[in-house]
Amino acid sequence: MGISKVLVVDDDPAIRRLVCDVLQAYGYSTVDAADGFSAIRLVQSEQPDCVVLDVMMPGLDGHAVLTRIRESDFGRNLPVVMLTAAADDAQAWQAWTEGVDYFLAKPFDPDELLHFLDYLSAA
Question: Percentage of the chain surpassing pLDDT 70?
Answer: 95
Q: Of 18-32, 42-56, 104-118, give the lowest mean pLDDT range.
A: 104-118
The angle subtended at Cα 74 by Cα 30 and Cα 118, nearest 5°, is 45
Q: What is the DSSP letter of 81?
A: E
CATH fold label, 5-118 = Rossmann fold (3.40.50)
Start-end of H helices in 1-123: 13-25, 36-46, 62-71, 89-98, 110-122
| Residue spans per domain, the chain | 5-118
Nearest by Cα to 113 from 59, 52, 55, 42:
52
pLDDT in tens, 61-119: 999 999 999 998 888 899 999 988 765 677 777 777 888 898 888 888 899 999 999 98
Residue 85: the pLDDT is: 76
pTM, two decimals, is: 0.91
102-105 sheet: strands from edge to edge: 29-33, 5-9, 50-54, 80-84, 102-105
